């Protein structure tokens, strides 16, 4: 199953690879070079298909837990000052996505979308300390009665050139369902209440929509 954001790119890739494969087969007479080029085209196609895959996730709905919004590795767990929305200290948990991870963004909790804003910006590498405030990004806040407000921020990286955000203010969010997509990018930050119970550790691999990041 592939994400809808990849349909156009996948179709174009199929067409280009088919054309190139015909050209290679017709004009490259060296068997080894012919074979190498065809294998390279096939590997490229597999990488594109893998990038836009959208596997079904089994989210256990729970208003008292925050699930990971994306697949990847936990790279930050620290208390920070959140300047855009809360304007106070929060616990930040950041998940870094490599190019081979699923890049679907999912709602970390159920509730009402209280805030959603896009920020144009730079394309610093995702682990750069200033990427959270200077890179292209979207900020979304979801609120429910049990957990309160949770902010998550999609951040573009050096390869990411487009962030897709489906979250609209006042919309109803369901935990684990699609809330966006980061094309060829790269990191999501969560900002949680200070008294929340973090359930992950640094360098732990997590799955979007399934791995519990925090709990009341």
Please tell me which residue in 131, 132, 179, 186 is annotated as part of the active site: 186
**Mean pLDDT score, 18-28:** 86
Write the pLDDT tens digit of every residue in 47-95.
888 778 888 899 999 999 999 999 999 999 999 999 999 999 999 999 9
Which residue carries 């929060």 as its tokens? 90
Exposed, middle or buried: residue 170 (CB in 10 Å: 0-12, 13-18, 19+)?
Answer: exposed
Task: Let me know: does 207 contact 176? Beta carbons within 8 Å.
Answer: no
Is residue 11 annotated as part of the catalytic site, yes or no?
no
pTM score, two decimals? 0.83
How many CB atoms within 10 Å of residue 14?
Answer: 13
The torsion defined by the Cα of 185, 3, 172 and 126, in degrees rounded to 10, comes to -10
Domain coordinates of the chain in residue numbers? 4-51, 65-215
Query: Which residues lie below 8 Å from residue 129, measured CB to CB, with a gap of 6+?
Result: none
* Phi, psi of 156, rounded to the nearest 5 degrees: -75, 155
More confident residue, 6 or 131: 6
Cβ neighbours around 195 below 10 Å, total:
8
Q: Rounded to an integer, what distance in angstroms lies between the CA atom of residue 88 and that of residue 80?
A: 8
The CATH H-level superfamily of 65-215 is Glucose Permease (Domain IIA) (2.70.70.10)
- pLDDT exceeds cutoff 80 at 3: no
User: Does residue 123 surpass a pLDDT of 70?
Assistant: no
């Amino acid at each position: 199953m592939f994400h809808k954001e990849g349909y156009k790119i996948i179709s174009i890739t199929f067409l280009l690879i088919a054309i190139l494969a015909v050209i290679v087969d017709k004009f490259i007479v060296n068997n080894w070079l012919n074979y190498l080029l065809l294998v390279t085209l096939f590997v490229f196609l597999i990488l594109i298909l893998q990038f836009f895959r959208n596997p079904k996730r089994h989210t256990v709905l729970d208003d008292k837990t925050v699930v990971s919004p994306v697949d990847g590795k936990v790279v930050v767990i620290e208390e920070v000052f959140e300047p855009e929305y809360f304007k106070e200290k929060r616990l930040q948990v950041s998940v870094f996505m490599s190019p081979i991870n699923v890049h679907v963004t999912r709602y970390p909790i159920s509730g009402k979308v209280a805030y959603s804003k896009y920020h144009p910006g730079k394309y610093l590498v995702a682990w750069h300390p200033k990427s959270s405030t200077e890179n292209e990004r979207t900020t979304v806040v979801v609120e429910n009665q049990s957990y309160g407000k949770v902010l998550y921020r999609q951040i573009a990286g050096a390869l990411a050139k487009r962030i897709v955000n489906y979250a609209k203010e006042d919309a109803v969010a369901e935990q684990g369902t699609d809330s966006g997509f980061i094309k060829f990018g790269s990191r999501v930050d969560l900002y949680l209440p200070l008294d929340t119970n973090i359930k992950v550790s640094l360098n732990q691999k997590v799955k979007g929509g399934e791995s519990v990041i925090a709990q009341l």
